[in-house]
A and B are shown apart, each in its own frame.
Chain A
């Protein structure tokens, strides 16, 4: 999903 947030970042 290109729009989803990156939850790797804090």
Chain B
């Protein structure tokens, strides 16, 4: 565990909590893509099945349980409790265009052709693109609430910090996981445009809105 990995995890946790609190406090999930949140719930579910097969550390187990529980709570708030505020008309990304290719790729390119390993690989690939419905929704409506941009910032920062963690681990531990690294690079690149808008607009006190 190095500082980049730890701050990455905490950044991820911050993103998840920010989103939950935003929905809970405003009693509304307006502007949030339920499809992205469904995909993240699927990501955590398929990745953390190893909770049943191996124990790594109390930290590892607790964080996995927290991520899974929070992602299911978020999906519950969007599709059940605050369903009336869910902006389904703007959440029109076709998720099958992500899930099907990603599913196929995880069968073809993985570390080991075993059910758990294929599901882990599926979750790594799916996570890298799971934010697309949310970004698509923002590009359709042309704007995002500031709190939503904070959520996206921490969610993007988390994988960027993991990239530094992997560079660190390569040099100091000789560890290198090509699948995680390539997917992590793709994931981080998808946020670059957003990072630019976040720094040039939101951090200067302006609302994130896109030119028509």
Contacts and interface: CB of A to CB of B under 8 A. Distances in A.
Contact of B63 (A5, A7, A10): A10
A9 B180 contact: yes
Contacts of A10: 9, 12, 60, 63-64, 67
Nearest 8 CB-CB pairings of A with B: A3-B111, A7-B50, A8-B56, A5-B111, A4-B111, A5-B120, A10-B63, A10-B9
Contacts of A5: 111, 117, 120-121, 124, 177, 179-180
Contacts of B35: none
Contacts of A9: 5, 162, 180
A8 B64 CA distance: 10
Q: Range of interface residues on chain B? A: 20 to 34
B175 interface: yes
B154 to A, nearest CB: 14
Q: Range of interface residues on chain A? A: under 10
A10 B127 CA distance: 12
Contact of A1 (B12, B112, B121): B112
A5 B200 CA distance: 38
B54 interface: yes
A10 B5 CA distance: 9
26 contacts: A1-B111, A3-B111, A3-B112, A4-B117, A5-B111, A5-B120, A5-B121, A5-B124, A5-B177, A5-B179, A5-B180, A6-B175, A6-B177, A6-B180, A7-B50, A7-B54, A8-B56, A8-B57, A8-B60, A9-B5, A9-B162, A9-B180, A10-B12, A10-B60, A10-B64, A10-B67
